A and B are shown apart, each in its own frame.
Chain A
Amino acid sequence: MTTDTTHTATSAEHSENHGMSTAGYIRIAAILAAITALEVSTVYIDFGPFFLPALLIMMAVKFVMVVSYFMHLKFDNKIFSLMFYAGLILAVGVYAAFLATFKFFIQ
């Protein structure tokens, strides 16, 4: 990861550095659209045992791509990542444990 920790000025003035070109954004959007198409295809094509893991991985990839590129987290100060991923990881951990107590994962 190429997190820029040295830059100190306010984001508004220096956004050119951590933004992307319009073409770059369109490329990301195209990849997202392609993954979405693939996701929808799982409803019609039998992926067998790969069905669930494939869907979850595609979901995670889309999630991280939007967060990293559209929300600039990849290029921004690490504190933002810390703040957001702290909440995200805590949520995933706590709610997974919560569902586990209902024996959700061994149904």
Chain B
Amino acid sequence: MAIIERETEVMVPVTVTPTSTYGVLKRPVSATGWRAWVFTVDHKKLGLMYGATAMFFFIVGGVEALLIRLQLAAPNGKVLNADLYNQMFTMHATTMVFLFVMPMAAGLANYFIPLQIGARDVAFPRINALGFWLLLFGGIFINLSWFLGGAADGGWFMYAPNSGPVFSPTNGIDFWAFGLQIAGIASLTGAINLIVTVLNMRAPGMTLMKMPIFTWMMTVVQFLLLFAVPVITVALFLLSFQRNFGARFFDVAAGADPLLWQHLFWIFGHPEVYILVLPAFGIVSEVLPVFSRKPLFGYPFVVFSGAAIGFVGWGVWAHHMFASGLGPVSVAVFSLTTMAIAVPTGVKIINWTLTMWGGKLYFSTAMKFSIGLIVLFTVGGLSGVTHSVAPSDTQQTDTYYIVAHFHYVLFGGAVLGFFSGFYYWWPKMFGKMLNEKLGGWNFWLMVIGMNLTFGPMHILGLQGQPRRMYQWTEARAGEGFFNLAFWNLIASIGSFVLAVGILLFLINVVITARNPTKSPLDPWNSRSLEWMTSNPPKEHNFDVIPTVHHLDEFFHRKYEEDSATHTMRQIATAEEIMAEQERNADKHIHMPSPSYWPIVLAGAVPIITFGMIFSHLIAVIGGVILLFAAFGWALEPSTAPESDFENNSSQGTALDKVGH
């Protein structure tokens, strides 16, 4: 079969010979080895690098979580001292939110948005690379603090005045603030890039309401990032200026209002919640229809409820602050808006349920994870509604009940969604299917583990166990069913069950990588455009840019409705559609060329922030590198000029051969 034969050939990227020097350096040309990754601007490679980085930080954050649970498994825990415990829970949350969930979503968006909209790359490939390197360097920068005097210890929302130099004299919070700033630039550039990509680079015929739902949800996320990141940027600058340059922003002695930080943080922080969970909603909305053999129920409702969540998400931030003395008017207003935002979320859950209703359900691992999300996210959503009731929330604030709530929405929502995506898209990304049997074990251990871990926390919280206390004592643990010792032990056991579940996933990845069996072209009988190309996709994604006529275009190319019986009958296989594309392939596809500048520019930023903390001279050096890289960048066209492409010569390139 033509597709399989070509695969090795397709892996050879376009050869570019730089004839001219732009600014300072010639273009990188290596197409193999580490240079092919480090200087790449290919959205798929960057997507995979985002994913690998996120997975690494997932493990780091997971180990931190296990240490926390070990400490709390028994009364008077001795695993960590109080100081280290503070650092541990702060970095666990920071790592999971900013260095795992956000980059993982960015990675999946990077990989699949261009494929789903029928584009060959993103709008700004070099900015895309810049975003990845900034994220990686920002993540490393934050974690450097472990080795340079101690990590941040103020909790992930770093309330003032606790974050001031008086209460946190190490450099941990400085690293934290600057590191998040760097990751923030990455998110902002990524958001601009993907918004422009989605608006401008859709295949002919793909109107907004024909876009796959994952792309839609990710677009909402990018708009949230676009507008939310600058708010935390302001907050982090105020904090850094206070800690490093003597500003007074959170200095109560000077008349400062500590609520300033809380407001700025949560104006960012609540949209952030939807930034974390909407990608998973998008994945689930892709997976459920495929394995229910039905189109998504009420596609426009899913789209508009997603947009509504994005919009209303801006008006609910103060519900994180009900216990701070906002005053009755503010509390009442934010209570009501918070109850309102449950509505569009409920709409989505109804849509997913009705998508499965009457479908021919196929319980693949991806499907199991998606169903797991519907159930467990709903649990978290319901405990969320209890927070919207301000009197009840006042009781729950800063207890384990809150911890239980946000782990159900984040682990039950975001993480299960990602795993569903991994199992669903693995054959697309790597050309091999993850082991389904191991996947089943992976799923059940994760679900059982997470319920054992986070379920008891509802009880612990309502019994009054505060979050962020490094020890609890036997004397105050209570008796009977509500005994804190019992439920803390269950939660700690659960966390290790969960860890084994995730370990099984990693084992599955290794087993799959060693397994020579290739995946079929369209293993799940999928519906959207990303499946209308080889596994993994060629560098230029599509031999010919498809013209789109339907929502679920790929499905409609495979199936046609029989007008007599109103049933779908197959008119083409995926292989036939691919073969058809190859025959009509575009010639002379010029992909954006690799570049040194993204990694150099990104590398300069942590040098500057490092200098801000330790020595301004280092910051100046970083600034010079930044300026140098910016000029190099500006002088280099993103696609090498025509004369640099070898396919003007008689031999032609790999891609040229593909065309025949």
Question: Would B327 and A94 count as touching, CB distance under 8 A?
Answer: no
Residue of A nearest to B311 (CB): A90
- Contact A98-B314, Cβ < 8 Å, known A79-B199, A87-B227: no
Whether A94 contacts B326 by the Cβ 8 Å rule is: no
Shortest CB distance A13–B (Å): 17
Give A50-107 interface residues, CB cut-off 8 Å to B. Answer: 79, 86-87, 90-91, 93-94, 97-98, 100-103
Asked if B515 is an interface residue, CB under 8 A from chain A, the answer is: no
Within 403-436 of B, Cβ neighbours of A (below 8 Å) are at none
B244 at the A/B interface (Cβ < 8 Å)? no
Of residues 293 through 352 on chain B, the ones whose CB sits less than 8 Å from some CB of chain A are 314-315, 318, 326-327, 330
Q: In the complex, A101 Cα to B264 Cα: how many Å?
A: 12
Contact for A98 among B199, B226, B263, CB less than 8 A: B263
Taking CB as reference atom, which chain B residue is nearest A90?
A: B227
* Number of B residues with CB within 8 Å of any CB on chain A: 16
Cα(A9)–Cα(B226), bound, Å: 27
0/1 interface trace, chain A 37-60, chain B, CB 8 Å (1 if under): 000000000000000000000000
**Roughly how many angstroms separate A11 CA and B318 CA in the complex, as a whole number?**
42
List A contacts of B318 (CB < 8 A).
101
A104 to B367 alpha-carbon distance, docked (Å): 51
Q: Tell whether, in the assembled complex, residue A102 and residue B259 are in contact, meaning their CB atoms are under 8 Å apart.
A: yes
B257 at the interface (CB under 8 A from A): yes
Q: Which of A79, A94, A103 has its CB near the most chain B CB atoms (within 10 A)?
A: A94
Report chain A residues within 8 Å CB of B330.
100-101
Q: A87-B227, A90-B314, A94-B314 are in contact. Are A101 and B263 (CB under 8 A)?
A: yes
Kindly identify, within residues 239 to 285 of chain B, every residue whose CB is under 8 Å from any CB belonging to chain A.
257, 259, 263-264, 267
Cα distance, A86 to B222, chains bound together (Å) = 14
User: In the docked arrangement, what's the CA distance between A49 and B330, Å?
Assistant: 29
Min Cβ gap A81→B in Å is 14
Specify which chain A residues have a CB less than 8 angstroms from the CB of B223 in the assembled complex: 86
Known A-B contacts A79-B199, A90-B314, A94-B314; the reply to A101 vs B267 at CB < 8 A is: no
Contacts of B231 in A (CB 8 A): 94
Complex Cα spacing A98 to B265, Å: 12
Residue in B closest to A99 when the chains form the complex, CB atoms: B263
Contact A98 B267 (CB under 8 A): yes
Name the CB-closest residue of A to B223.
A86
**Which residues of A are found within 8 Å of B199, using beta-carbon distances?**
79
Q: What's the Cα separation between A98 and B314 when bound, in Å?
A: 11
Contacting A at CB under 8 A, from B462-511, are none
- For B257, list chain A residues within 8 Å (CB): 102
Residue among B231, B263, B267, B314 with most chain A CB within 10 A: B263
Q: How far is the CA of A87 from the CA of B223 in the complex (A)?
A: 10
Instruction: Give the residue name and chain of the B residue nearest to A91 (CB).
Output: B227
The smallest beta-carbon distance between A104 and chain B, in angstroms, is 11
Residue in A79, A86, A101 whose beta carbon sits within 8 Å of that of B327 in the complex:
A101
A2 to B4, CA, bound (A): 55
* Inter-subunit contact A97/B326 (CB<8 Å): no
- Give 3 nearest A-B pairs by CB, closest first: A101-B330, A98-B263, A90-B227
On B, residues with C-beta under 8 Å from A are 199, 223, 226-227, 231, 257, 259, 263-264, 267, 314-315, 318, 326-327, 330
Chain A positions within 8 Å of B, measured between CB atoms, are 79, 86-87, 90-91, 93-94, 97-98, 100-103
Would you mind naming 26 contact pairs between A and B with Cβ atoms under 8 Å apart? A79-B199, A86-B223, A86-B227, A87-B226, A87-B227, A90-B227, A90-B314, A91-B227, A93-B314, A94-B231, A94-B267, A94-B314, A97-B315, A98-B263, A98-B264, A98-B267, A100-B330, A101-B259, A101-B263, A101-B318, A101-B326, A101-B327, A101-B330, A102-B257, A102-B259, A103-B327
Given A90-B227, A97-B315, A98-B267, 12 additional A-B pairs, CB 8 A: A79-B199, A86-B223, A86-B227, A91-B227, A94-B231, A94-B267, A98-B264, A100-B330, A101-B259, A101-B326, A101-B330, A102-B257
